[in-house]
Structure 1
Amino acid sequence: MASQQSASNHSNRRHKHEGRQKHIVAFIFSIVLSLIAFAAVASVAEVNATFIIILLLVMAVLQVIIQMAYWMHMKDKGHLLPVVFMLGGAFVALTCIVMALYWVWW
């Protein structure tokens, strides 16, 4: 009896699923960010273009974080190596962009 209970507890821990609620919240948040982006671009005549560009960049970063955390499950344990490689790739890409801008401007 005790071995059955411990086996079922181990099975429950191993197959724990986060459920629909977090995915639905992440999906709604993504939709809201997209709608805000569309509204910002539509109001380009009334609002400063620099503000809209900054707003769009911030919302794009938020979208990437949501996509990676909830849809690609990067927030779960065991995903450290892909995160390290993505951060390394982002560092190399940003270094290339900065050096290209430096090369063009000077």
Structure 2
Amino acid sequence: MSSNHNHAASREVSKRHKVEGPQKHIVGFILSLALTIIAFAAVAAGEINETFTYIILVAMAVVQVIIQMAFWMHMKDRGHLFPIIGIIAGVFVVITMVIMALYWVWW
């Protein structure tokens, strides 16, 4: 009786916690590497407009952060709602502070 109960409990735990193989980590690594190469190529190509280069760098950085959080920090998984809310709130506060600082300087 006890062994059946332990076996059923172990199956229940294995259903909740699937073992994640290295495939997703490899995909995340390759995507991060590709984004880094794109950013380096944008800087290395001297004939690209400087403003466009900055836009590319910021866009690659934002996508890189999203990939890092999804693949390495597992923010895509269930149970990470409060950290995601905290990160979004922090980003909102920082953007607000930057906008207000720019407004104050340009006033």
TM-score, shorter chain, exceeding 0.5: yes
Q: What's the TM-score, normalizing by structure 1?
A: 0.89
Distance (whole Å) between structure 1 residues aligned to residue 17 and residue 99 of structure 2? 45
1:50 equivalenced with 2:13 (yes/no): no
Which residue identity lines up with residue 69 of structure 2 in the other structure? M
User: What is the aligned partner in structure 2 of residue 76 from structure 1?
Assistant: 77
Gaps of 5+ in 1: none
CA distance in structure 2 between the aligned counterparts of 1:95 and 1:64, rounded to whole angstroms: 20
TM-score by length of 2: 0.89
Query: What amino acid maps onto 1:82 in structure 2?
Result: P
Secondary structure (helix, strand or coil) at the match of 1:47 reads coil
Q: Does 1:15 align with 2:13?
A: no
RMSD value over aligned CA atoms?
1.6
Amino acid at match of 1:88: A
Pair 1:101 & 2:107 matched: no
Cα deviation, residue 20, structure 1: 0.6
- Percent identical among aligned pairs is 59
Q: Distance in 1 between matches of 2:50 and 2:32?
A: 23
Task: Give unpaired runs (5+ residues) of structure 2.
Answer: none
- Paired with 1:32 and 1:88, the residues of 2 have a C-alpha distance of 29
| Distance of 2:65 and 2:95 partners within structure 1 | 16
Q: Distance in 2 between matches of 1:34 and 1:52?
A: 13
Indicate the residue corresponding to 1:33 in structure 2: 35
**Count of residues in correspondence between the two structures:** 105
Q: Which amino acid aligns with 2:26?
A: I
1:4 Cα offset (Å)? 6.1
Letter in 2 for 1:98: I
Q: CA deviation at 1:3?
A: 4.7
Distance 2:19 2:70 in 1: 15
